Amino acid sequence: MKRDKPKYKQIVDAAVIAIAENGYHQAQVSKIAKEAGVADGTIYLYFKNKEEILISVFREKMGDFVEIVKNAIKKDITATEKLYEMIEGHFRWLHSDRHLAIVTQLELRQSNKDLRYKINEVLKEYLVLLDSILKEGIEKGEFDGQIDIRLARQMVFGTIDETITSWVMNDQKYDLLKLAPEVHRLILNGMKS
């Protein structure tokens, strides 16, 4: 059966809102369908269950962000600048969609172990891009040559992730984008040779 791509996107976008506003466990398929403006049964033409919807939300939205990062990496700029673009882009991506920020920072973490494993699989492409920036920075002498890539990746991603989570937990009361330069500076200070 051929799926209607606009309707699929409509359901994914509606799921972000329904999950953010109700919480993953309280966002029944009927609430997602209502938000999408479709019949409950229509959801099942595109997704097997609510877990598949959540994974699709993350896959689709993360896929959009990964494209932004890929474009930044292609630019003829330093690894230091690429790292800044990744940090600022990640902040901008979630700052521009507050519902998505709630879903990625809070709701995805409350899911079961199998679901988190599937979500981590989606996250791998992002982490590979981060690794490429780190490796380039080491090769070009911008970052300390003794850096353990895995540890650096955890440090960078963890700092970005925790900064966004704190912003979400504080009801997004301050400008997340203004933190990008300081987060970048602090991370760089930990990686300079």
Look at residue 25 and tell me if it is in a domain: no
Look at residue 97 and tell me if it is in a domain: yes
For the chain, the domain total comes to 1
What CATH number should be reported for the domain holding residue 140? Answer: 1.10.357.10
**Predicted confidence (pLDDT) per residue in 46-65, tens digit:** 999 988 998 899 999 998 88
Look at residue 18 and tell me if it is in a domain: no
Q: Nearest-CA neighbor of 38 among 9, 75, 70?
A: 9
Task: Tell me the Ramachandran region of residue 128: left when phi exceeds 0, alpha when psi lies from -120 to 50, beta otherwise.
Answer: alpha
| pLDDT score at 111 | 65
| 3-class SS of residue 190 | helix
CB of 77 within 8 A of CB of 94?
no
Look at residue 138 and tell me if it is in a domain: yes
Look at residue 84 and tell me if it is in a domain: yes
Look at residue 44 and tell me if it is in a domain: no
Instruction: Using the predicted structure, report yes or no on whether residue 1 has a pLDDT greater than 50.
Output: no
Q: Which domain holds residue 136?
A: 55-191
pTM, entire model: 0.90
**Predicted confidence (pLDDT) per residue in 21-47, tens digit:** 999 999 999 999 999 999 999 999 999
Look at residue 119 and tell me if it is in a domain: yes
Look at residue 20 and tell me if it is in a domain: no
| 3-class SS of residue 11 | helix
- Two tokens at 15? 């799921």
